[in-house]
Chains A and B, each alone.
Chain A
Amino acid sequence: MFELVEVTKKYRNHEALKQLRFVIEPGVTAVVGPNGAGKTTLFNILTGRIFPTCGTVFYNGQPVEKIRGNLGYLFEDPPFYPYLTAENQLGYFNALREYPVEAHEVERELEKWDIPPKGKKIKDFSQGMRKRLGLANAFLGNPQIVILDEPFNGLDLEGQQLLEDTFVTYRSKDRFLIFSSHQLERITLLADRIVILDQGRLVYTGETKELAEQATKVIFYLPGDISMDLLRTPLVLEIGKRGVLVTAAVQKEKGPLFLQHLAEHGIVPQSSRLLISELEYVFEEKQVSRRLPY
Chain B
Amino acid sequence: MIGGGFIRIIQAEISRVLRKPFFCVIPLLSLIYVLYLEIGAYNNALAFHKGTIELPTGVPNPFAGVDLSQMLYWFRWENITTAAGATYLAGWVGIILVGYVGAVWFADDLRTGVNKQIAVLQKHLMPVVVGKILTLALYMAGILIFIVLGSVLTTLFLSDVPGREPAALLRWIPLRNLMLYSIIAVMWACLAAMITLLSRSPVIGVAVGVMWPFAETAILFSGNSTIQLLIAKIAPISTIQSILAFVYDRFSWVIDSAPVILWTTSPPLTRTIENGVIQPYLLPISFLMTALVIYTFVAVGGIILGYYVSVRD
Contacts and interface: CB of A to CB of B under 8 A. Distances in A.
A47 interface: yes
A100 B8 contact: yes
Contact of A49 (B8, B21, B114, B116): B116
Interface of chain A, helix or strand or loop or mixed?
Answer: loop
B122 A75 contact: no
Contact of A48 (B20, B114, B123): B123
Contact of A95 (B8, B19, B112): B8
Contact of B312 (A49, A68, A79): A49
Interface in A132-183: 137
A249 to B, nearest CB: 41
Interface stretch (B10-18, B226-234, B256-264): B10-18
B16 A79 contact: no
B123 A50 contact: no
A88 B8 contact: no
Contacts of A47: 120
Contact of A75 (B1, B117, B311): B117
Contacts of A92: 12, 15-16
B128 A96 contact: yes
A161 to B, nearest CB: 26
B123 A83 contact: no
A84 B113 contact: no
Contact of A96 (B12, B19, B20): B12
Contacts of B8: 95, 100
A10 to B, nearest CB: 14
B312 A51 contact: yes
B120 A71 contact: yes
Contacts of B118: 93, 96
A80 interface: yes
Nearest to A138: B120
A82 interface: yes
Contacts of B11: 95
Output the residue of A75, A82, A92, A96 with the most chain B CB within 10 A: A96
Interface in A50-92: 50-51, 65-66, 68-69, 71, 73, 75, 77-84, 88, 91-92
Contact of B123 (A68, A78, A91): A68
Contacts of A93: 117-118, 121
A84 B16 contact: yes
Nearest to B127: A96
A98 interface: yes
Interface in B168-225: none
B67 interface: no
Contacts of A51: 312
Contacts of B108: 81
B118 to A, nearest CB: 6
Contacts of B112: 79-82
Interface residues of A, number: 30
Contacts of B313: 50
Contacts of B16: 81, 84, 88, 92
Contacts of B123: 48, 65-66, 68-69, 98
Interface string B108-149: 100011101111111110001000000000000000000000
B65 to A, nearest CB: 56
B26 interface: no
Contacts of B121: 68, 93, 96-98
B305 interface: no
B126 to A, nearest CB: 12
Contact of A83 (B19, B122, B311): B19
B266 to A, nearest CB: 34
Nearest to B10: A95
Contacts of A78: 117
Nearest to B312: A50
Contacts of B21: 83
Contacts of B117: 73, 75, 78-79, 93, 137
B9 interface: yes
A10 B226 CA distance: 48
A39 to B, nearest CB: 16
Nearest to A140: B121
Interface string A35-50: 0000000000001111
Interface in B10-61: 11-12, 15-16, 19-21
Nearest to A122: B112
A139 to B, nearest CB: 13
A69 B16 CA distance: 23
Contacts of B120: 47-49, 68, 71, 73
A90 to B, nearest CB: 11
Nearest to B118: A96
Contacts of B116: 49, 75, 79
A96 B9 contact: yes
17 contacts: A49-B119, A50-B312, A65-B123, A73-B120, A75-B113, A75-B116, A78-B117, A79-B116, A81-B20, A81-B114, A84-B19, A88-B15, A92-B15, A93-B117, A95-B11, A98-B124, A100-B8
Given A71-B120, A93-B118, 14 more contacts: A48-B120, A75-B116, A80-B114, A81-B108, A81-B112, A82-B112, A88-B16, A92-B12, A93-B121, A96-B118, A97-B121, A97-B122, A98-B121, A98-B122
Interface of A: 47-51, 65-66, 68-69, 71, 73, 75, 77-84, 88, 91-93, 95-98, 100, 137
